[in-house]
């Protein structure tokens, strides 16, 4: 799957970028026409008025470009999150897979938005500079000398050759920078709990690792940036040479031709600016490899349909299922079907030694039942309607509120099995009694299978 950058807002933004740069190029044509009219003693007020209007009108497409590009960012990001959710939905074993979480979660929580935002900034910069250079070179060639057009035609392949030479080296530095930045983000994920809990030993460990990871990420970022800047400068010097030669020769040929010399002088700032934009464009194309690779990596992080859901294993014979009357060692999943009478309503407890696969069993049931099963792990960050009020709740009150919300949605959501993983892990005896009673009531209407923390 790919990140979807093309949408109606992106297309609208590109159209207004083209209009914006066409207006900028028209101001160059108006400057040339204005100087020509003045030197020939012709009426120039019309051209002067149009030039002033062009400087003002350009802000209209600029405003519309910003509006639609900002809208496009959120459309693309929303599409990415939707695709991510579609790929990951009902993969409960992956919830407990620490390697999977370390690899994927940063992209879901912050990297996706950062990369999409940076990509749109990059797209706007590339298109704005490209059309600015293209339109202005065309105008300068029409009004001054077609040799300008030829010089840029020569400059472009020279730039591309320099970029291709540096491609492999930049890709390696870009990969290294991305890896070190992801490493830093993974260390940051441990910081919230470490700082708030205030244990000196853990704080010291986290701080030292964060400092090392941030220094590594910063060093790799600076090396990549320096490499890009040096490459951009070298490419500019080489590619700008034919343009400078043509500009110099134009001034030599215009000697004694006052109207032409006036046009050259009047348009000189725009010519210099065009060369500067060419420099910026070279810098952007040098960064293109980095942007493409990061975006491909972003796309790869939603294409995980082939990722195995296996995380841990169920040691059959060491995992037990019990109710009030009996207790049976499970030899396979079919034993669970038989014991619960095909998951009929009632309350069942999964027991076993640590590492036997109790939680993995709950995840497997959820995977098979899909939306018909409701899985509530301990301390999950799932969203509930009571989240606003729960800021003032204790852990027990929050658990009770969540169970109450689940019970109200059992019929409408078609839930037939409730899977509870260590709901009592952080509760005191009083709250355990309250929650235990709530779970008991739920078992009167659906099948409740639970793993309890406290025996």
Q: Quick one: angle between helices 395-408 and 429-442, nearest 10? A: 10
Q: Could you read off the pLDDT of 390-446 as tens digits, one per residue? A: 667 788 888 888 888 888 888 778 888 999 988 887 778 888 888 889 888 888 889
Which pLDDT does position 153 carry in this prediction?
82
pLDDT top residue among 447 and 47:
447
pLDDT band at 9 (very low <50, low <70, confident <90, very high): very high
Residue 29 has pLDDT above 90, yes or no: no
Q: What tokens appear for 102 in the block?
A: 């370390």
Range of the structural domain that residue 388 is part of: 319-451
Does the structure show a pLDDT above 60 at 154?
Answer: yes
Whether residue 87 sits in one domain with residue 186: yes
- One domain, residues 296 and 323: no
> What per-residue confidence (pLDDT) applies to 18?
96
Note whether residue 305 is domain-resident: no
Residue-wise pLDDT for 366-384, tens only, equals: 888 888 888 888 877 788 8
Q: Does residue 301 have a pLDDT over 80?
A: no
- 66 phi/psi in degrees, rounded to 5: -60, -40
Residues of the chain above pLDDT 70, percent: 96
Q: What is the pLDDT of residue 2?
A: 79
CATH code assigned at 421: 3.40.50.300
User: What is the pLDDT confidence band of residue 316, given thresholds at 50, 70 and 90?
Assistant: confident
The number of distinct structural domains making up the chain is 2
Considering the domain architecture, whether residues 295 and 352 belong to the same structural domain is answered as no
User: Which pLDDT value is given to residue 183?
Assistant: 85
Confidence class of residue 305 from pLDDT cuts 50, 70 and 90?
Answer: low
CB 133 within 8 A of CB 94: no
Give the model's pLDDT for residue 453.
Answer: 62
| Structure-model confidence comparison of residues 238 and 348, the more confident one | 348
Same-domain status, 208 and 66: yes
Confidence of residue 355 (pLDDT cuts 50, 70, 90): confident
- pLDDT category of residue 308 using cuts at 50, 70 and 90: low
Per-residue pLDDT band at 65 (split at 50, 70, 90): very high
Query: What's the pLDDT band for 309 if we cut at 50, 70, 90?
Result: low
Judge if 285 and 364 occupy the same domain. Answer: no
Q: Which residue has the tokens 């690779």?
A: 293
Which CATH number does the domain housing residue 219 bear? Answer: 1.20.1560.10
Same domain, 287 and 376: no
The mean predicted confidence, pLDDT, of the chain is 83
Q: Is the pLDDT of residue 7 over 90?
A: yes
Based on the domain organization, do 256 and 351 belong to the same domain?
no
Residue range 314-342: mean pLDDT, rounded? 87
- pLDDT value at 157 more than 60: yes
Residue 314 covered by a domain: no
C-alpha to C-alpha distance for 85 and 331, rounded to whole angstroms: 33
Q: Is residue 372 in a domain?
A: yes
Tens digit of pLDDT for each residue in 75-124?
A: 999 988 888 888 888 888 888 877 777 777 777 888 888 889 999 999 99
163, 228: one domain: yes
Regarding whether 85 and 151 lie in a shared domain, the answer is yes
Same-domain pairing of 296 and 337: no
State which of 15-29, 163-177, 295-309 shows the largest mean pLDDT.
15-29
Which residue, chain included where needed, has tokens 């590009």?
Answer: 69
State pLDDT tens for residues 210-268: 999 999 999 988 988 888 788 777 777 887 788 888 878 877 777 777 777 777 777 77
Average pLDDT over residues 299-319: 71
**Residues for the chain: how many in total?**
455
Same domain, 23 and 65: yes
Distance in angstroms (rounded) separating the CA atoms of residues 145 and 246:
9
Q: What value does the mean pLDDT take over residues 42-61?
A: 84
Which pLDDT score, from 0 to 100, does residue 16 have? Answer: 96
For residue 312, is it within any domain? no
CB 21 within 8 A of CB 132: yes
Is 233 within a domain? yes
**How far are the Cα atoms of 39, 102, 203, 206 from residue 195, in angstroms, in the given order?**
72, 20, 6, 9
Last residue of a domain, one of 265, 300, 335: 300
């Amino acid at each position: 799957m790919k990140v979807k950058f093309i949408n109606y807002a992106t297309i609208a933004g590109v159209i207004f970028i083209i209009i914006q740069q066409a207006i900028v190029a028209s101001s160059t044509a108006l400057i040339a026409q204005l100087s020509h009219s003045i030197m020939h003693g012709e009426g120039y007020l019309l051209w002067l008025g149009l030039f002033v209007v062009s400087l003002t009108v350009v802000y209209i497409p600029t405003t519309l470009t910003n509006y639609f590009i900002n809208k496009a960012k959120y459309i693309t990001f929303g599409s990415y999150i939707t695709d991510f959710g579609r790929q990951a939905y009902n993969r409960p074993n992956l919830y407990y897979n620490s390697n999977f979480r370390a690899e994927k979660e940063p992209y879901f929580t912050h990297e996706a938005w950062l990369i999409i935002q940076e990509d749109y900034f990059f797209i706007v910069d590339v298109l704005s500079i490209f059309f600015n250079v293209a339109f202005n070179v065309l105008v300068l060639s029409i009004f001054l000398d077609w040799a300008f057009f030829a010089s840029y035609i020569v400059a472009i392949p020279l730039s591309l050759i320099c970029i291709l030479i540096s491609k492999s080296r930049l890709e390696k530095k870009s990969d290294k920078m991305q890896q070190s930045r992801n490493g830093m983000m993974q260390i940051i994920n441990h910081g919230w709990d470490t700082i708030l809990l205030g244990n000196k030993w853990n704080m010291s460990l986290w701080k030292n690792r964060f400092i090392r990871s941030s220094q590594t990420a910063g060093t790799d970022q600076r090396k990549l940036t320096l490499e890009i800047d040096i490459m951009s400068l070298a490419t500019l010097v080489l590619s700008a040479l034919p343009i400078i030669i043509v500009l110099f020769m134009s001034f030599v040929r215009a000697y004694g031709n006052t109207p032409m010399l006036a046009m050259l002088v009047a348009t000189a700032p725009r010519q210099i600016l065009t060369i500067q934009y060419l420099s910026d464009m070279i810098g952007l194309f040098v960064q293109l490899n980095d942007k493409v690779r990061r975006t491909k990596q972003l796309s790869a992080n939603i294409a995980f349909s082939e990722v195995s859901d296996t995380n841990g294993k169920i040691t059959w014979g060491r995992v037990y299922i019990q109710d009030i009357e009996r207790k049976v060692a499970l030899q396979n999943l079919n034993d669970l079907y038989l014991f619960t009478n095909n998951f009929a309503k009632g309350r069942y407890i999964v027991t076993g030694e640590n590492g036997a696969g109790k939680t993995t069993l709950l995840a497997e049931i959820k995977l098979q039942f899909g939306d018909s099963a409701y899985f509530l792990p301990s301390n999950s960050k799932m969203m509930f309607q009571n989240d606003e009020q729960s800021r003032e709740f204790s852990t027990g009150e929050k658990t009770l509120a969540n169970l109450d919300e689940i019970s109200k949605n059992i019929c409408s959501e078609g839930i037939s099995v409730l899977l509870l993983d260590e709901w009592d892990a952080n509760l005191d005896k009083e709250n355990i009694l309250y929650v235990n009673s709530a779970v008991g009531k739920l078992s009167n209407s659906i099948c409740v299978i639970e793993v309890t923390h406290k025996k």
